[in-house]
Chains A and B, each alone.
Chain A
């Protein structure tokens, strides 16, 4: 039995009954990752981790075992967790998979991590990602690409590809990611695991290195929906040091998971079943929706008429915010500095030119362009007006339905290199996940069968602001029914 491939709920039982120790679990984590990177059968390692903190994790596991022996109980006590390489964990490196953060060490710990640490979680390492979370395939990392554990010639999705792959490969029971336009849900779908993006403001962003501040949100990758609920219980909560964090009480998200679906109104937006989508993906998602109906849900076709503009709006809003957020990486205060610059301008321009990869440069350039004098109104302000229309589409829909069900991605995991040369084709792979970020609502992706080549397909469920409890409950019941 590979302990690292069990659910959090199962590990909790085993730890509390002393069936195995927290140290045993860390051993299993190490064993899984080491054998993957050295085993001759896997000539191509998954490359999910950028750095492991196993010595430190063992020390914490011993402490957790001592606390368990003393009869202490805490929800995540002794549970190993991997974190995306864009989260600050005091004293540890964080690189956003970029050369520009060479040598950087966090001087404080992200609020979300503080919460999880308090609940007893043990951080075992940081996971690979697209550089600065910009990408949908995990091919833009300065630490090398990540491979999909289901087929190593394919991408795991992105940008949180390392976190998704780490859970899918059985390396860790849970990993944190961040979702700006689908960066948790899309890789979760492509790797066959559960990925949750909470409501904007539900989880503090303090300590998450910013990509697009009005869209970014931290969330978990897990093996089960119940595990996602367990983790959200500790991720969620108000942080006075993040002005966008919302002071709303955190319910116990695990409490109502078994509630039934009778009378639940589920909207199926016609704009999410478009030509170009793989037929196997559509079939798997439609079958899952049919199961919801059999369980008592009422299925209604709805319309989100501005869906086709979401990707265009996103690539204006997200790049504009990114060009501003990434201005701080200038070679002055931390990270990479160019050698012997002639003047201050050259110090900035060369440090950034040498430090950033191609996709990040492309987005900084686009964001600067849409914000520059003469273009601001035509692109940036116009995009914010369309963002308003997209948000209103959801408000209208949620007046009639409780939940929206769609595919997470129009296709299963694609081949490494397939879209690397065409930025627009890559951007379109987030077509079904972007709108939730623009509207700030929560979304989850859960496995719903297999598509082409036996690769995982994801079902996406979306709910209205702060309705994670119902979102998780419905996802849990669908997961049970499809098992």
Chain B
């Protein structure tokens, strides 16, 4: 650096550098709406197939998808850094995390997934979090970049003459950082529970984050954690039968088979807790973003042997392509539900049991909302 300004701390870490595009507060993202991925529930029945379980499992509670928007100054501005200020902290607080950031004109839409409690039939939403957003000065709108009547402070400029730091515009102050990971999988225990399989996550990881400032509790904390980790888990049940139905004129032999597939698509989300005055705890876990239950039944009454063979074939075909068939059924049947929810339609079951990106380090940054309120 031939010229300019660089300020470091006593660990020689850079705090201000006139060549850096420092992030500054651009405001709280504006709340738009709360929705959730619709239940992807569909299947067919035949006369003798069991009619149990034609519902979502009680534990398949999709989290709230909370939409926010924040303006930037152009259609080419990079996405803002958004810190989540949860409405509550502690082990009972809902987990939340940013699951989508997308451009809409010169604004950005940010979607936050937040856990819902209760059951699928009777879910409970929690108070939504606030999003505190930060952007380089060069991408702020004129109102965001306005210093008002303030005439003192520190500003730096790069070699092109562009302002890169301005103490009057609330630069981002990080008070703690920690590399974390998502758990290997959402649930390790058995999901088997008849026609109501259990998908409640039972795996999480705790990380203690040392704060640079002392705090009596975590109520003022907010976090940034750009995780891409996600997981899918599924459970299937196959039922079949054959027999003789005494039924007036049309007493008959029959055979049937039905296969059910329940699944959940989890996203990595976080929960803040207070440990002590210098330490906060980040709980990294998966929570349900989307879920579904599809099933298929076949029955044949013409010939018992042929019926058993037909049912077995249909079962094998369906069983071999559960994900594909499940996706097809859900997509074709429930598209309108996505439109109503204002969400992109899709299967939301990208793969079978497993997790992705859970091994990638995620840097969690902590800051305080009161710096910007």
Q: Does A pair with B?
A: no
Which residues from chain A sit less than 8 Å from chain B, CB to CB?
none
